[in-house]
Structures are given as structure tokens and as C-alpha cells.
């Protein structure tokens, strides 16, 4: 049983402390993958501190800035362990967290897709909690929360990972949990725990948080109106917010129309609803002057903000759900060059000579030199990912394989990465395509996100290896490519030159 840790991060100052907390434990994660989700405009590398025990296992990947759901997808697709443990970058793991996680996963039977960790939020001891502190403390009761959630990699692949239409750290965890349960999996609860500090927030944070009401529209459409009960989410106050907003709008409209009685009645409704909201937020708090003023002002703004975002979500519903069904949207074609292009060797780069151990028989495929030169010209790393079962079959020696690869580089130039599987079909390895191991290995050598790569090959196994890590696969058929493989391929190019242009 193996596990990797994935941490999406926007560069919070708490990240180095989190990584340090993963150090010094036995039986720790195979990989600690930090996905830098600050977006393309981010300056230098993300600050990770100097965790000595973690650094050899630490992998930094660049996200797209599209939010934590997309960043987690980048992370788990680059993972290699049987399990992927997701942590938020502002939590503090307990001293025994990795050992406790290993115990939680060992106790999970094969029907369990995910094991939820316990999230503990410290409360102030010398006063009542503020509205913001109570909001953060609500994480302790969340049914499924990715602040500390370990998921089987196979289960993530089964449901397509996180739905990237959820752009905020809100509802993407409940959506994943519901889809796992609907797919027949179970979600357990472990004994490990992390501390989630409340942190600091400005007085307008509660107003900004109303943007999540747009995500609730998507949840309603995907999972039906009863999703809150199934996911253990609180009902919320959306209906009250809408009524308060409608009353305020009616009071203003009636006033403009010079209908004072109607305006007064509506204003009383608006005032009463707003006062009730403010009182409900003030009563359990510390009731300091600053807190009371903040609650009073934001209680005026929250209902219209919530209503606006709800209407915004409804307005976008048709386009957002055009291809939704009950699964995440398909990957969009990138608007910039891929992080790397990974090419199959035999039948794609060079003419396929079965079990070739003779460098003299190496001949480039038509257009191969032009295609590779095009990629190098614009600075896209180029790697080779190739099954070579002739080694396992005893038909090609390791030395012959090395000599053939060297001849490929003599003819086509030096490649930035080589990932070769020498195993046979029955060896049960994780590298032989269609398994994702070769793509992961090449991406690791190049220091890039596997899902941001393009894999070009001539058979279905090449495309399947790409899809296994969320990468883009392009098929270039030749004489041995079956018709059904061409029909099933997501993208097909007539030759390697055209495939490279398609990739770009």
C-alpha cells in the first residue's frame, strides 16, 4: 500500500510549515506534490522552505490558476501511489499524521474509495469566537472535505477526478464525494487529524464568500435538490436572502413609482429580515464594537450579494452544463504550447522493425526530422516513451537497445528524456503502455506536469497511457494501426508533422 501527498497552493506562508510537518516520520509518502496554483502571472518559484526529509520526494508542478479542483487534478495525475492524500496548504498535520494515515489506509477495504481525516479548528479561550472563526470551525463537521482527504487513485480515475467547473474551494469536495458514492464506492473516516488555524480575515470576507451560491446552482443541476442532505451540508439561508433582497428592491421601486404605502411595507420586510440576520450573527459572537459594526454592515450586503451570485449561476447554467451529464467536462485544448511532447519510438519516430537490435536498420519515419526540429525550434521539450518487450523476451539485449536508441539520436538529434519499458506483457509492471508509468517517468525527468504534456503514438496503447494521466493523446496511424483504434482516438493526424502542429 503506497500513497502520495498532493497540496495545491497559492503561496500561503503556511506552506513551508506544512511541509516541515511531513518530515521526520517513518513510512511517509512516496511523493509530496505541490501544485503551484498562483496562475501564469506568478513571479518566481513558490516558497517551500527547507524540509530536509521531504525535499528528495518533493515535486513542484505548475497549475493553471483555475482553482483548487483543477490543481488537485494536476497533482493526482502526477501521483504514482495507490492512494492520493490531499491536504490544504494552510493545515498543520499532527506529529504522527503520516503513520496515522498509513494505518487508516491499511484498515480500508477494497470497497472504500476515500478516507476522510479529522479537521480540528482551535477556538479562542479568552473570548467568544467571531463570525469568521465560527465559519472556519464549521469545517470540523463537514462530511467530505479536501483539507485532509485520502482517495484511491483508481477511484479518482473511475469518476474522472475533480470537476474543474468549480473554480473556488467550495463544493468541489461534496461533488466528488457524491460522484464516488453514486459510482458504488464507500467513504470512510479515519483517526488521523490536522489542525486548521482560523487565520485572519478582513471585515468583508463574509460578503465575498457569497460567490459560492453560484456553485450551488451547479450542484443542484448535477445532483438534484436533495444533495445537501446526502453530502451532510447545511441548508443555508438562500431563500431568506432572496426574500430580503426582493423586499428591498420592491421598496425602492415603489418609492420611485410614488407608491408610499407599498414602499413602506416592503421596507419593513427588508428591515426586519436584515435585522434578524444581523442579530443571528451578533448573538453568539464576542459582541465587541468592531464585531457588531462589521456584522451590521455586512448583513445589509450579504442578501443582495448572495442573490446576485445565485442569479449569475442560473444565467450560466445552460452553458456550464452543455456537456455536463454527471461527470467533469472534457479537457479543453490548451491555448499555449504543451509542457512537453512525448513520442512513441517504433512506428512513430522510426520505421517499426519488430524487436530491432541492429542500429543499421533504424530509419526515420517520413517527416520525423521536420516535426522534431519544429518542437526544438520553439523550445518545447521532446521525449521518447517506448515499450521494448524484446528485452524481456531475450530477443534484444540491453546493449543492443542502447545502441539503437543512440542511432535514433544520431539521425534525429538528442532527446530531452527517454522512458523505456523493457518488460513483457505478462510482467504486471506499471510502466508498459497503456499503463501511465512511461509518461510519468518522462514528465518527471523533464520536471513538467504530466497532464500538460502531449503524447503522440501510432496505437491505442499510446493514447491510453496519455489519458491515464490526463494528458492529451494524438494518434498518427500507420499500416499496423487498427481501424477501431482510429475510430476511438480523440484526435488523429495524418502524419507526424501534422500531429506536432495539432499539438501546438
Q: Do 285 and 380 reside in the same domain of the chain?
A: no
Check whether residue 98 and residue 108 sit in a common domain.
Answer: yes
Q: Which residues make beta-bridge pairs with 151?
A: 84, 114
Of the pLDDT bands very low, low, confident and very high (cuts 50, 70, 90), residue 430 is confident
Catalytic residue of the set 89, 104, 175, 346: 346
In DSSP notation, 50-70 reads --TTTGGGEEEEE--SS-HHH
Structure confidence at residue 318 (pLDDT): 61
The per-residue pLDDT for 296 is: 96
- Least confident residue range of 245-249, 339-343, 469-473: 469-473
Residue 319: band (very low, low, confident or very high) from pLDDT cuts 50, 70, 90: low
pLDDT band with cut points at 50, 70 and 90 for residue 38: confident
254, part of any domain = yes
In a domain? residue 160: yes
pTM, whole model, 2 decimals?
0.66
Residues 236, 169: one domain?
no
User: Is a pLDDT exceeding 60 seen at residue 335?
Assistant: no
d(CA 131, CA 90): 19
**Rounded distance between C-alpha atoms, residue 402 and residue 303, angstroms:** 68
Across the range 11-26, mean pLDDT stands at 79
pLDDT at 334 over 80: no
Based on the residue annotation, tell me whether 220 is a catalytic residue of this protein: no
pLDDT band, very low/low/confident/very high, at 330 (cuts 50, 70, 90): very low
pLDDT computed for residue 24 by the predictor: 52
Q: What is d(CA 205, CA 298) in angstroms, rounded to the nearest whole number? A: 9
d(CA 435, CA 416): 21
33 and 174 in a single domain? The answer is yes
Cell numbers representing residue 246 in the block: 426582493
Q: Is there a single domain that holds both residue 366 and residue 217?
A: no
- 249 and 186 in a single domain? The answer is no
The verdict on residue 496 lying in a domain is yes
- For residue 318, the tally of other CB atoms under 10 A from its CB is 9
Exposed, middle or buried by CB within 10 Å (0-12, 13-18, 19+), for 311? middle
**pLDDT tens per residue across span 115-152:** 999 999 999 999 999 999 999 998 888 888 999 999 99
168 and 95 belong to one structural domain = yes
Q: Residue 195 in contact with residue 91, Cβ under 8 Å?
A: yes
295, 329, 363 - which closes a domain = 329
Same domain, 193 and 251: no
> Of 272, 296, 329, at which residue does a domain stop?
329
d(CA 458, CA 33): 31
Catalytic residue check, 449: no
Q: Which of 88, 215, 216, 344 is catalytic?
A: 344
* Of the residues 200, 225, 241, the one at which a domain ends: 200
pLDDT at 322 over 70: no
User: In this structure, what CATH number is given to the domain that contains residue 496?
Assistant: 3.40.50.1000
* Percent of all residues in the chain with a pLDDT value above 70, rounded to a whole number: 94
pLDDT exceeds cutoff 80 at 182: yes
Q: What are 122's three cell numbers?
A: 482551535
pLDDT at 187: 94
| pLDDT tens digits, one per residue of 48-91 | 887 777 777 888 887 878 899 989 988 888 888 889 999 999 99
* Average pLDDT along the chain: 89
pLDDT in tens, 337-366: 899 999 999 999 999 999 999 999 999 999
- Is residue 470 domain-shared with residue 348, that is, in the same domain? yes
pLDDT of residue 232: 86
Number of domains in the chain: 3
Instruction: Give the domain CATH number at 121.
Output: 3.90.550.10
Length in residues, the chain: 504
Spatial distance between the Cα atoms of 464 and 202, rounded to a whole number of angstroms: 47
With a cut of 50, say whether residue 381 has pLDDT above it.
yes
* pLDDT of amino acid 458: 95
Reply yes or no on whether the pLDDT at 379 is more than 50. Answer: yes
The answer to whether 152 and 188 have CB atoms below 8 angstroms apart is no
Residue 236: band (very low, low, confident or very high) from pLDDT cuts 50, 70, 90 = confident
Residue 334 lies in a domain: no
- Whether residue 453 lies inside any domain: the answer is yes
Q: Is residue 51 part of a domain?
A: yes
**Residue span of the structural domain in which 120 resides:** 3-200
> In the prediction, which pLDDT does 316 show?
78
287 plus 217 within the same structural domain = yes
pLDDT at 420 over 90: yes
Answer yes or no: do 252 and 358 share one domain: no
Same-domain check for residues 70 and 134: yes
Alpha helices in 168-326 (DSSP H): 172-182, 205-208, 212-223, 227-231, 238-256, 260-282, 289-320
Amino acid at each position: 500500500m503506497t500513497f502520495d501527498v498532493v497540496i495545491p497552493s497559492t503561496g500561503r506562508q503556511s506552506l513551508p510549515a506544512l511541509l516541515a510537518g511531513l518530515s521526520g516520520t517513518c513510512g511517509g509518502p512516496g511523493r509530496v506534490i505541490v501544485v503551484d496554483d498562483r496562475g501564469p502571472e506568478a513571479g518566481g518559484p513558490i516558497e517551500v522552505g527547507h524540509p530536509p526529509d521531504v525535499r528528495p520526494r518533493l515535486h513542484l508542478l505548475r497549475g493553471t490558476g483555475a482553482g483548487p479542483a483543477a490543481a488537485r487534478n494536476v497533482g493526482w495525475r502526477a501521483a504514482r501511489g495507490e492512494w492520493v492524500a490531499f491536504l490544504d496548504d494552510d493545515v498543520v498535520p499532527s506529529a504522527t499524521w503520516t503513520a496515522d494515515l498509513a494505518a487508516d489506509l491499511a484498515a480500508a477495504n477494497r470497497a472504500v474509495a476515500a478516507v476522510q481525516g479529522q479537521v480540528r479548528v482551535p477556538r479562542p479561550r479568552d473570548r467568544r469566537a467571531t463570525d469568521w472563526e465560527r465559519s472556519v470551525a464549521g469545517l470540523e463537521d463537514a462530511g467530505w472535505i479536501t483539507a485532509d482527504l485520502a482517495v484511491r487513485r483508481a477511484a479518482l480515475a473511475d469518476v474522472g477526478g475533480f470537476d474543474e467547473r468549480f473554480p473556488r474551494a467550495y463544493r468541489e469536495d461534496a461533488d466528488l464525494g457524491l460522484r464516488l458514492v453514486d459510482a458504488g464506492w464507500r467513504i470512510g473516516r479515519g483517526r488521523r487529524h490536522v489542525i486548521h488555524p482560523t487565520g485572519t480575515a478582513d471585515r468583508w470576507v463574509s460578503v465575498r464568500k457569497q460567490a459560492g451560491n453560484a456553485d450551488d446552482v451547479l450542484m443542484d443541476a448535477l445532483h438534484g435538490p436533495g444533495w445537501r442532505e446526502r453530502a451532510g451540508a447545511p441548508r443555508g439561508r438562500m431563500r431568506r436572502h432572496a426574500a430580503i433582497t426582493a423586499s428591498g428592491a420592491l421598496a425602492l421601486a415603489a418609492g420611485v413609482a410614488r407608491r408610499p404605502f407599498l414602499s413602506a411595507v416592503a421596507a419593513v420586510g427588508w428591515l426586519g429580515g436584515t435585522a434578524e440576520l444581523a442579530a443571528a450573527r451578533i448573538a453568539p459572537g464576542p459582541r465587541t464594537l468592531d464585531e457588531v459594526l462589521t456584522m451590521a454592515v455586512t448583513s445589509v450586503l450579504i442578501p443582495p450579494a448572495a442573490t446576485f451570485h445565485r442569479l449569475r449561476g442560473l444565467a450560466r447554467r445552460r452553458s456550464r452544463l452543455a456537456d455536463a451529464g454527471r461527470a467533469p467536462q472534457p479537457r479543453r485544448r490548451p491555448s499555449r504550447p504543451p509542457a512537453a511532447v512525448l513520442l512513441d519510438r517504433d512506428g512513430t519516430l522510426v520505421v517499426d522493425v519488430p524487436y530491432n537490435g541492429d542500429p543499421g536498420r533504424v530509419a526515420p519515419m517520413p517527416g520525423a526530422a521536420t516535426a522534431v526540429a519544429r518542437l526544438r525550434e520553439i523550445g518545447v521539450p521532446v521525449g521518447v516513451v517506448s515499450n521494448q518487450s524484446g528485452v524481456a523476451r531475450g530477443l534484444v539485449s540491453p546493449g543492443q537497445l542502447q545502441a539503437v536508441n543512440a542511432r535514433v539520436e544520431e539521425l534525429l538529434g538528442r532527446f530531452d528524456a527517454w522512458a523505456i519499458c523493457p518488460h513483457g506483457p505478462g510482467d504486471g509492471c506499471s510502466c508498459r503502455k497503456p499503463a501511465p508509468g512511461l509518461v510519468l517517468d518522462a514528465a518527471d525527468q523533464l520536471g513538467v506536469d504530466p497532464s500538460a504534456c502531449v503524447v503522440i503514438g501510432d496505437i491505442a496503447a499510446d493514447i491510453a497511457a496519455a489519458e491515464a494521466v490526463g494528458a492529451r493523446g494524438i494518434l498518427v496511424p500507420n499500416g499496423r494501426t487498427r481501424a477501431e483504434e482510429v475510430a476511438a482516438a480523440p484526435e488523429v493526424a495524418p502524419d507526424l508533422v501534422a500531429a506536432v502542429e495539432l499539438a501546438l
